[in-house]
Amino acid sequence: MTELLAEIACVGVDARRGGFSRHGFDHAELELREWFTAEATRRGLGVEGDRNGNLWAWWGEPGAGAVVTGSHLDSVPGGGAFDGPLGVVSALAAVDLLRARGFTPGKPLAIAVFAEEEGGRFGIACLGSRLLTGAIDPDTARRLSDSDGVSLAEAMRAAGLDPAGLGRDPDSLARIGTFVELHVEQGRGLVELGAPVGVASSILAHGRWRFSFVGEGNHAGATLLVDRRDPMLPAAQVVLAARRAAGRVEGARATIGRITPNPGGTNVIASTVDLWLDARAADDVRTRAVVAEIVAAAETAAAEEGCTVAVTEESYGDTVVFDPTLRDDLAGALGGVPALPTGAGHDAGILAGHVPTAMLFVRNPTGVSHAPAEFAEPADCAAGVVALADVLAHLAR
Ligand code: GLV
Ligand code: MN
Ligand code: MN
C-alpha cells in the first residue's frame, strides 16, 4: 500500500502551492485514472467507466447487491497525499490481501473512483456521486466552468468522455448493495481515542455559497476615498462576519478560502470581487442561521460602499447520519473500533441517502488535512487495509 502511494507521489505535484493539485479531468487526474486502470487490470479486475465520469473496477461479474469500496483521486488545490488516494490504494491493497487469504467473494465486489470529489476545478464537491444519484441537474453540471472558462462538458470531451450521458444513473446505483469508503481522518478524533481505525457516525450539514460584489473599477492613486465604490470592502466584512457568525453557533464552521478580485491589479480598485463561503454546522437550521447572518452582513456592507452583492448557493448537503445498524455491524466485525463524526464531506455522504453506506477512518497524527502536511503513519495505513479487507470479507461473505 505504501508502494502504491509512492507510485503516484510524482503526479500532480504543485511546486507553486506545495502539495498536490489534481482536479477533475485535468492532466494529473487523468494520469491517476490511467494508473488506477492499469493497477486494477493487473489484478484481473474489469474496469469500466460510467456515464458520469466515475470508474468501477469489478472483481467478478458486475451485478446487483455488490459490495463497493473506493474514494477519489482528485485533490483540493495544494492538497495532501492521503485525502482520496488513501481510500483507492487501500482498496487495491485490500483486494490483494483478500486474495492472499484465499477469500472468494460471495457477492460482486467493486472499487469505485468518483470524479471531482473536492470540486477543486468545477466548484461543486462530490460532482461524480451527485451526478450518479441525481443530486445535480445534468445541464447545470455540463455548464459548470473552471477558472479558465473550460466547461465540464468540454473537459470531459477533451478526456475522451461523452458529457451527453451525464445524469442520474439508476443502473449503476442499483448495483451497489453496500458502499464503504476508507478515508484519512480529517481531525484528531482517533488520536484522542488512541485507535488507528474507526468508523464514521455522521457528517455535518454543509454547503458552498458564492458572493458576487459589484463596485466600480478605478485608479488606486487618483480616486479619493469618498469617491470609491470598492467591492473589496464588503468582501473583507464578509470574511470577518463568517468568523463572527460561526462563533455564535456551537460546533459551526465558516470559511472564506477563495476570493477573486477582478481585474486583480495592485494599483487598481477592483470592479468586482467574487468570494466563496464554505459553511458547516450540526444541522440544517444551524447552518442556515450562520449563512443568513453572513448574507445580512454582506448586504449591509455592500450598501454602505455603494456596491451590490448577489449570493448564490452553489451546493448544499444536509447532515448525514450513517446507517447505525451497518456502522455497529462493521465496528463489531473490527473488534469494537470507535465511531466518530466528521466535519468533512465525502462521496459516501452523497451515497448514504440511496444505499447502505459506511466509512472507515485512519488515524491522522496532527489532524491536518486539505494541506501538504496531511499524514497517516504507514502502520496505521496498514491497519486500515486490514480493517477494509475484514469489512469487505464480512459484507461479501
Ligand atoms: C471535502 O473534503 C470537503 O469536506 O469539503
Ligand atoms: Mn477533501
Ligand atoms: Mn476525500
pLDDT at 366 over 90: yes
Give the model's confidence band at 235: pLDDT under 50 very low, under 70 low, under 90 confident, else very high: very high
Domain 2-204+319-396 identical in fold to domain 205-317? no
C-alpha cell at 124: 461543486
Would you say residue 376 has pLDDT above 90? yes
Q: Are 83 and 370 in contact (CB under 8 A)?
A: yes
Pairing of strands 176-184, 357-362: parallel
DSSP 8-47: TTTTTB-TTTSSB---TTSHHHHHHHHHHHHHHHHTT-EE
Spatial distance between the Cα atoms of 90 and 70, rounded to a whole number of angstroms: 8
> Which residue is associated with the grid cell 463497493?
68
Which atom of ligand 1 lies closest to the CA of 369? 2
pLDDT on residue 132: 98
Q: How far is the CA of 275 from the centre of ligand 2 (A)?
A: 19
Q: Give the mean model confidence (pLDDT) for residues 242-249.
A: 98
Match 484465499 to its residue by C-alpha cell: 102
Q: Report the 10 Å Cβ neighbour count for 236.
A: 16
Q: Judge whether residue 256 has pLDDT over 90.
A: yes
Which residue puts its alpha carbon closest to atom 5 of ligand 1?
345
Q: Residue 74 in contact with residue 29, Cβ under 8 Å?
A: yes
**CA distance between the termini of the chain:** 23
194 C-alpha to center of ligand 3: Å? 22
**CA angle, 180 then 82 then 72, to 5°:** 50
If you measure from the C-alpha of residue 226 to the centroid of ligand 2, how many angstroms do you get, rounded to a whole number? 43
Architecture of the 2-204+319-396 domain: 3-Layer(aba) Sandwich (3.40)
Look-up of cell digits 488506477: 36
Q: What confidence tier does 1 reach under pLDDT thresholds 50, 70, 90?
A: confident
Looking at residue 252, what is its pLDDT?
Answer: 98
% of the chain residues with pLDDT over 70: 100
pLDDT of 258 > 90? The answer is yes
**Percentage of residues of the chain with pLDDT beyond 90:** 99
Q: What pLDDT, on the 0 to 100 scale, is given for residue 352?
A: 98
In tens, the pLDDT along 282-307 reads 999 999 999 999 999 999 999 999 99
pLDDT the model gives residue 369: 98
Pairing type for strands 253-262 and 272-281 reads antiparallel
Closest by CA position to 205, among listed 287, 126, 321: 287
pTM of structure: 0.97
DSSP conformation letters of 126-167: THHHHHHHT-S-HHHHHH-B-TTS-BHHHHHHHTT--GGG-S
Q: Ligand 1: which of 118, 130, 204 to mutate, judged by most atoms within 8 Å of the beta carbon?
A: 118
CA dist 55 and 72 (Å) reads: 10
Pocket test of ligand 1: the residue of 75, 122, 370 to mutate, having most ligand atoms within 8 Å of its CB, is 370
Query: Domain extents for the chain?
Result: 2-204+319-396, 205-317
Q: What dotted CATH number matches 205-317?
A: 3.30.70.360
pLDDT band at 38 (very low <50, low <70, confident <90, very high): very high
Model pLDDT for residues 102-120, shown as the tens digit of each residue: 999 999 999 999 999 999 9
Asked whether residue 372 carries a pLDDT value surpassing 90, the answer given is: yes
* Residue nearest ligand 1's atom 1 by CA: 345
Q: Is 362 helix (H, G, I), strand (E, B) or coil?
A: strand
Give the separation between CA 275 and CA 210, rounded to whole angstroms.
6
Separate counts of helices (H) and strands (E) for the chain: 13, 15
- How confident is the model at residue 292, as a pLDDT? 98
Please, which residues have CB less than 5 A from ligand 3, an ion? Answer: 83-84
Which atom of ligand 1 is the closest one to the Cα of 117?
A: 1
Say what the pLDDT of residue 11 is.
98
Q: What is the mean predicted confidence (pLDDT) over 134-148?
A: 97
Q: pLDDT-based confidence at 88, cuts 50/70/90?
A: very high
> Mean pLDDT across the chain, nearest whole number?
98
CA 277 – ligand 2 centroid, Å: 16
| Site to substitute for ligand 1 among 22, 23, 76, most atoms within 8 A of C-beta | 76
List, for residues 316-347, the tens digit of each pLDDT value: 999 999 999 999 999 999 999 999 999 999 99
What is the number of the ligand 1 atom nearest to the C-alpha of 370? 2
Residues with CB under 6 A from ligand 1: 118, 125, 344-345
Q: How far apart are CA 379 and CA 174, in angstroms?
A: 36
pLDDT tens column, 198-233? 999 999 999 999 999 999 999 999 999 999 999 999
For position 40, what pLDDT does the model report?
A: 98
